[in-house]
Structures are given as C-alpha cells and as structure tokens.
Chain A
Amino acid sequence: MTDRFCVKQRALFSDQLDGERLPFWRGLLVRFHLAVCPQCQLMHRSLGATRDALRELRDRDPES
C-alpha cells in the first residue's frame, strides 16, 4: 500500500468511528483496508482512543 492510499482511507476514520454513513463502496474499502493494513489499524485505534478520552471530559472539571 502507498502512503497516499493510506492517507485517503485515514481521512475517513473519524466519520467511520462516529457511525456516519459513507457511500457503500467507500465504506467497504475503508473496512477492507483496516483489515489488511497494520499501520492504519494502529492509527484507527489511536484515533478512537483519542475520541474516547475526550468523552471522559464531559462531567470533569477542567484544570485551571
């Protein structure tokens, strides 16, 4: 896989994590790519953990 191809898939990871509807073949390509690309798997997991960490802030007092 080229870096450019990975970058194109990674641009959709946020939408995919949020359950946003992607065009059918686009969504299928992202899922397939995640199944076969270990680098993108790491990126996807990291992005998901980032989003989950943000959710933890909801009822927490921010530090001054």
Chain B
Amino acid sequence: MLQKRVAAISEQAVRELEPVLYRFALRATRDADLSRDLTQEALLAALAQQDRFAGRSSLRTWVVGILSHKVLDHFRRRTLQPSGDDPMLLAAPSAEDVERVVAARQELSAVERGLAKLPELERMALLMTDVEGVPRQDCCNALGVTATHLRVLLHRGRNRLRRMLEDDR
C-alpha cells in the first residue's frame, strides 16, 4: 500500500497558523501571555511531530488539536470549575429574545463576552467545533472525551451562551 507523503510544514504555514492559534488560545484562556506561550509550544510540537500529520484533516485542524491538548493540560494543572446542572431548557425564549441572539451575529463582542464566561471544557468544545469547525471525532480525541460527553458539552455550552445572548442588553 502506498503511503501518503505529506509535505513538511513550511515557514509560510507557520506564519499563517500563529495568529489562528493565538486567537484560539486567547479565547480559551483569556490570558494573553499564557496564550503566547501555548501558541509557541503548539507550533514547536507540530514541527517536531510533522511526520505524524497524515493529511486526513487540514493542517489548521491538526495543529488546533495539538493546541487544545496544551490548553487542557494547563486547565488540569489548575482547579477545574464545576459545570453545574442546567435548568435552561425549561424556559423557552420570547421572540424578542431570539431576535437579540440573531442580532448578535452583528455584535460579536457580546458573543466573545459570553464565551469567556463559559466553563472551560464547554468553552473548548465550542471553540473547536463551532469556531474552528473541527469534526466531532477529532474534537473528542483532542479533548479526551467520549462522543456522548462531547454532545453534552456542546448542548450545555450552546444553551448557556444562548441564554446570555438573549439576556444581553
């Protein structure tokens, strides 16, 4: 069987990836200095492991996965925030609430603020799947969670964020 050879990660690719990774890390950790460190660590790890990149996903997705591991290692070294039960599914929004959420696409600062307030693992799940478009299976592998757990994280994270956007004034 022919092995697919993937080109080495070019300097141009590294320059293009750096701001992508930094944005992801900053949204995940809300710490600029830490995000710079994590970005550098992820890029170095990607360069060191580039022979493992088989091209099944995009380079961006693959390196975001490496960065996610670094971010999660950082979270595990701290006390994790508990993610509580979510009673949000009982209260349906009003039509005005929904329009506020729809309008949030034009006012992304509200989305950023809401994202920053989410529990860490829910925030990571949304960053990877919704913001970065990482396929769910790759997201499970990067976060070290089962498919079922990821479904719960996405479900809770999106609903928490939805409620924040509906309540935003």
Q: Write the residues of chain A forming the contact surface with B, with a CB cutoff of 8 angstroms.
A: 3, 6-7, 10-11, 13-15, 18, 20, 39-40, 42-43, 45-47, 49-64
Q: What's the dominant secondary structure at chain B's contact region?
A: helix
Q: How far is the CB of B107 from chain A (nearest CB, A)?
A: 9
B112 in contact with A54 (CB, 8 Å): no
Our pick among A3, A43, A49, A57 for the contact of B102 (Cβ within 8 Å) is: A49
Cβ distance B159 to chain A, nearest Cβ, rounded Å: 7
Q: Which of A20, A45, A49, A61 contacts B104 (CB 8 A)?
A: A49
Check if B166 sits within 8 Å of A62, measured CB to CB: no
Cβ of B132 within 8 Å of any chain A Cβ, yes or no, is: yes
14 contacts between A and B (CB under 8 A): A7-B89, A13-B155, A18-B129, A40-B92, A46-B98, A47-B158, A47-B162, A49-B102, A50-B165, A51-B158, A55-B131, A55-B133, A57-B27, A58-B133
- Give 13 new A-B contacts, CB below 8 A, not counting A43-B89, A47-B159, A53-B105: A6-B89, A10-B89, A13-B155, A42-B97, A49-B101, A50-B104, A50-B165, A54-B158, A57-B115, A58-B132, A61-B19, A62-B26, A63-B112
Which chain B residues lie closer than 8 Å to A55 at the CB level? 130-131, 133
- Residues of A contacting B154 with CB < 8 Å? 14, 18
In the bound complex, do residue A46 and residue B93 qualify as a contact, i.e. CB atoms below 8 Å apart? yes
Q: Count of B residues near A, CB < 8 Å?
A: 39
- Residues in chain A near residue B151, CB distance under 8 A: 14-15, 20
- Listed in ascending order, the chain B residues whose CB lies under 8 Å from chain A are 19-20, 23, 26-27, 32, 89-90, 92-95, 97-98, 101-102, 104-105, 108-109, 111-112, 115, 126, 129-133, 136, 151, 154-155, 158-159, 161-162, 165-166
Cross-interface CB contact of A51 among B20, B32, B89, B130, cutoff 8 Å: B130
Shortest Cβ distance from A64 into chain B, in angstroms?
Answer: 6
